[in-house]
């Protein structure tokens, strides 16, 4: 039995993670941390866990966690995660980090996009990116894994193989994505209050969204090509889910049929990628670890539609998928 700890256990991704781990036959959750005063039970913060997990929330003590955990999932915010991950990993515990602190390959990019110095700079660029569809070998032996962002997963998974197979042009890529409100986290913010976002659809952070360099970097790593991406995120009035519509120019004689067939063949043995004929919707993948995608042609453009659950394949499900790879369990354990 693998002993697991969860840092920052009071958020949405932590709750989703706990629910998945509770049905994992090879995991025992041994610690949940938070800065909540008084060591309250985790079920007082997440009532869904009543009579399912009786652990108290505790302060983060890296050495104490190292004695009680074989793996730690960090659900701490960006910039706050790396210092804790460093201490825990240095103590010999494997870590899956759900923040963005290890996703970018150099500290200069991190500091530019996240506005803070990195607290574990020696590991930057050496931590595998947590998409098992591409990086399973590196993930398998890693001490720390950088779990992907939700928007990036929804864009990288459909676009990277088409670029790798030279079926679309690498420049002039347009990514239009809509996310449910849970993607903004549980901390109250004006723009995510019910009265602000209900019955409304809005774009935000155009040209400034922190997932932009992550999308660029990983697509280039996989495809071996320099890409030019315009990424526009939107906030949609729903709890969960991401729908991403990407636009590209076909390369050579690529057609809708040939591109769809190529995607099917590429992902044939990947259990969580479903290449479908119909136009997928967020409800098709809600509360699952699947990413659904399809292709259409329109006015000389390739239109790729993909969707996933931002809290599962976009966060906690992907983390458990990485965990399964790291510890040698079937990739689908607890996820299907």
d(CA 200, CA 120): 40
Active site members: 150
Q: Read off the pLDDT band of 186 (50, 70, 90).
A: confident
Q: What is the arithmetic mean of pLDDT over 311-321? A: 98
Q: pLDDT, tens digit, for every residue of 231-246?
A: 999 999 999 999 999 9
For residues 209 and 233, the answer to whether their CB atoms sit within 8 Å is yes
Q: Read off the pLDDT band of 282 (50, 70, 90).
A: very high
Q: What is the arithmetic mean of pLDDT over 55-60? A: 95
Q: At the top level of CATH, which class does the domain 2-127 belong to? A: alpha beta
Q: Higher confidence at residue 194 or residue 157?
A: 157
Residue 130 has which token pair? Answer: 């947590």
Question: In what side-by-side order are the strands of the sheet with 291-298?
Answer: 202-203, 229-235, 173-179, 242-248, 301-308, 291-298, 273-275
Domain boundary assignment for the chain: 2-127, 150-310
Q: Name, in order, each residue with C-beta under 8 angstroms of 62's C-beta and a sequence gap of 6 or more.
A: 84, 87, 88, 91
Q: pLDDT, tens digit, for every residue of 3-29?
A: 999 999 999 999 999 999 999 999 999
CATH 3.30.360.10 describes domain 150-310:
yes
3-state secondary structure of 333: coil
For residues 128 and 145, the answer to whether their CB atoms sit within 8 Å is yes
Tokens 């990116």 — which residue? Answer: 129
The bridge status of strand 144-146 relative to strand 94-97 is parallel
Q: Read off the pLDDT band of 34 (50, 70, 90).
A: very high
pLDDT value at position 69? 98
pLDDT at 267 over 90: yes
For residues 205 and 233, the answer to whether their CB atoms sit within 8 Å is yes
Please name which of 39, 45, 118 lies closest in space to residue 85, comparing C-alpha atoms: 118
Q: pLDDT, tens digit, for every residue of 85-94?
A: 999 999 999 9
d(CA 81, CA 257): 44
DSSP string, 101-154: TTTSSSHHHHHHHHSS--S-GGGTTTSPBS-HHHHHHHHHT-SEEEPPPHHHHH
Q: Please report the sign of the dihedral spanned by the C-alpha atoms of residue 177, residue 232, residue 294, residue 306.
A: negative
């Amino acid at each position: 039995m693998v002993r697991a700890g969860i840092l920052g256990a009071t958020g949405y991704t932590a709750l989703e993670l706990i629910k998945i781990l509770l049905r994992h036959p090879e995991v025992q959750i041994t610690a949940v941390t938070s800065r909540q005063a008084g060591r309250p039970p985790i079920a007082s913060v997440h009532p869904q866990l009543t009579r399912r997990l009786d652990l108290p929330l505790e302060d983060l003590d890296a050495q104490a966690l190292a004695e009680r955990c074989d793996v730690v999932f960090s659900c701490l915010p960006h910039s706050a995660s790396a210092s804790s991950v460093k201490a825990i990993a240095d103590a010999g515990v494997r870590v899956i980090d759900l923040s963005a602190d290890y996703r970018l390959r150099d500290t200069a990019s991190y500091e530019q996009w996240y506005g803070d110095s990195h607290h574990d700079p020696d590991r930057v660029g050496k931590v595998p990116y947590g998409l098992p569809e591409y990086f399973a070998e590196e993930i398998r032996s890693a001490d720390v894994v950088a779990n992907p962002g939700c928007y990036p997963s929804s864009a990288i998974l459909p676009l990277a193989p088409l670029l790798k197979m030279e079926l679309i042009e690498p420049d002039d890529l347009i990514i239009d994505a809509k996310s449910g409100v849970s993607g903004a986290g549980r901390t109250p913010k004006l723009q995510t209050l019910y009265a602000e976002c209900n019955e409304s659809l809005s774009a935000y952070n155009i040209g400034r969204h922190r997932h932009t360099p992550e999308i660029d970097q990983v697509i280039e790593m996989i495809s071996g090509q320099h890409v030019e991406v315009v990424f526009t995120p939107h906030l949609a009035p729903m709890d969960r889910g991401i729908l991403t519509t990407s636009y590209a120019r076909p390369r050579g004689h690529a057609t809708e049929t040939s591109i769809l067939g190529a995607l099917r063949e590429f992902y044939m043995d990947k259990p969580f990628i479903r290449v479908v004929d119909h136009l997928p919707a967020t409800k098709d993948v809600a509360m699952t670890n699947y990413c659904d995608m399809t292709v259409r042609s329109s006015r000389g453009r390739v239109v790729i539609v993909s969707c996933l659950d931002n809290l599962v394949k976009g966060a906690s499900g992907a983390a458990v998928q990485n965990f399964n790879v790291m510890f040698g369990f079937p990739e689908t354990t607890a996820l299907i």
